[in-house]
Amino acid sequence: MNLSLSDTNHLNATYTREDGTPIYQVVTPFSFSSKTATIKKAIPEFQEGTAAVFTANHRYGFLAQVEFHVFASSVLHINGEQVKTSEFFTKGGLTLTKLGASRKFVGPDGKEYKWILGQSASTLVLNNDEKTKVAESHRKHYGVFHKARPAFLEITPVGMHMVDLVLITFVYIEKLRKDAESARDSSGGG
C-alpha cells in the first residue's frame, strides 16, 4: 500500500491511498518551541447492506499524538496511554549515513522492528537476519530527472497488520531524520 502525502511536510499532510481516498491526516500547529503532531484517521461510513466506504465528506477521528521535545524525551499518546519515546524505542546503532541511531520497537505481534534513518528516506525493517522491509518513505519527484509524483509512504504486505502504528512511528522518526538532515546541511556536512 502506498500512502501519498498532500504536502512535502509530513507533519502537515493528508495521507491518501492510491485511489485518492484520504486515510490519515497529520496536523502540527506552528510553534517556536515544542511541537505536537495530531494524527487522525478517516472514519468510514457504513451504509446498510454494503461494506465500509469513505465518502466525499471525510470525517476524521483521533488516532494519536506525538509531542516533540528538544531537551526531554518526546511523548507518544497512543490508545489512551502516554509513553516516552525513550521507553517505546530503543536505539539500534549508528547508521552508515551518520544521521543518528536507528530506532527499534516491539510491534503488536511481539516482533522487533527497526526504523533506519537514511540520507533521503526512512526505512522500517523487521529486525531479523533478512532485514525484511516493512515500510519506506519516498521523496517527492518534481519531474525533472524522474517522473513527477508526490512524496509517499510505502507499506509492504509485512506491515499491513499494523498500518496505524507504522504511520505513527513514521511521523516521529521522519522528524528526527529531517532534523538531522537539516543540521548536517547547515554545518556543511552534506
Reported as a single tens digit per residue, the pLDDT across 154-177 is 999 999 999 999 999 999 999 998
pTM for the whole thing?
A: 0.86
Total domains present in the chain: 1
Domain range for 140 is: 2-186
Asked if the model's pLDDT at residue 122 lies above 50, the reply is yes
Regarding beta strands 81-84 and 90-94, do their DSSP bridges make them parallel or antiparallel, or are they unpaired? Answer: unpaired
The C-alpha cell at 62 is 483521533
What rounded mean pLDDT belongs to the chain?
Answer: 86
Q: How many CA atoms does the CB half-sphere of 9 hold within 13 Å?
A: 8
Report how far residue 105's alpha carbon sits from residue 111's, in angstroms, rounded to the nearest whole number: 8
pLDDT greater at residue 143 or residue 105: 105
State residue 124 phi and psi, 5-degree precision.
-100, 125
**How much is the pLDDT for 12?**
94
> Is residue 96 scored above 50 in pLDDT?
no
